């Protein structure tokens, strides 16, 4: 390994602690709200035309 190589598999002690903490503790109300919000955003991103919303823009044009 040369001096210019980067150890891409290194996990800091802080990351290990936070990973273990997240695994052993319940999510807070605000975390659950954020998760729900981002799930909705991902759904709308992946499904741009939800049912019943097709061609409303051009209706009656």
pLDDT at 37 (0 to 100):
98
- Closest listed residue to residue 44, CA positions, set 53, 56, 55: 53
Judge whether residue 58 has pLDDT over 90. no
Torsion angle in degrees (nearest 10) through CA of 20, 29, 44, 53:
160
More confident residue, 49 or 14: 14
The pLDDT tens digits for 23-50 are 999 999 999 999 999 999 999 999 987 6
The ranges assigned to domains in the chain are: 13-46
- pTM of structure: 0.55
pLDDT at 3 (0 to 100):
72
The percentage of the chain sitting over the pLDDT mark of 70, rounded to a whole number, equals 82
């Amino acid at each position: 390994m040369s001096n210019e190589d980067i150890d891409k598999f290194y996990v800091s002690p802080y990351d290990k602690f936070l990973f273990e903490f997240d695994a052993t503790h319940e999510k807070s109300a605000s975390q659950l709200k954020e998760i729900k919000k981002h799930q909705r955003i991902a759904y709308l991103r992946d499904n741009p035309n939800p049912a019943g919303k097709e061609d409303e823009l051009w209706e009656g044009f």
